[in-house]
Amino acid sequence: MAKKIAAKALQLGRTVPTPETPAKAQLDTVPNPHPDTNYLARFTAPEFTTLCKITGQPDFAHLVIDYAPAAWLVESKSLKLYLTSFRNHGAFHEGCTIDVAKKIMETVQPHWLRIGGYWYPRGGIPIDVFWQSGPPPHGLWLPNQGVPSYRGRG
């Protein structure tokens, strides 16, 4: 069974400051109302931002997070706050994308998760990062993530 943050109250329904860093961000869980049903939940963050670890220049990505929930769901306000905490965080594209996936895996322990990090180009080269936790559960509907290969995304 997934770990639930028991010591801290949910951020939902109250004013909460943006976390200073991803490490200080709290990702909340809520009970899955259909833990016996095999389904996919999707979060799309088309305006994800972070800073280049070397230059400090801003980097932008379109993240698509698909997961098959088990006992817990990711609470969306806490996910927004967690993703926003990357805005002043220096990291490489690969690091940010995989950090988001690992945080969700650790916190929610879904049956399955995949993430697509579609990064906008810096220096003329887009860097897209993809990861999944393993084979998807049998019978799970996996729609296309809907983000085309880079051709001037917008």
Residues taking part in catalysis: 52, 59
CA 127, chain centre distance (Å) = 17
Cα angle, residue 64 at apex, residues 61 and 69 outer, rounded to 5° = 145
Residue ranges of E strands in the chain: 29-31, 41-51, 58-68, 72-74, 112-119, 128-132
* Integer-rounded Cα radius of gyration of the chain: 16
In 3D space, the residue among 131, 126, 132 whose CA is nearest the CA of residue 152 turns out to be: 126
- Mapped onto helix, strand or coil, the DSSP state of residue 123 is coil
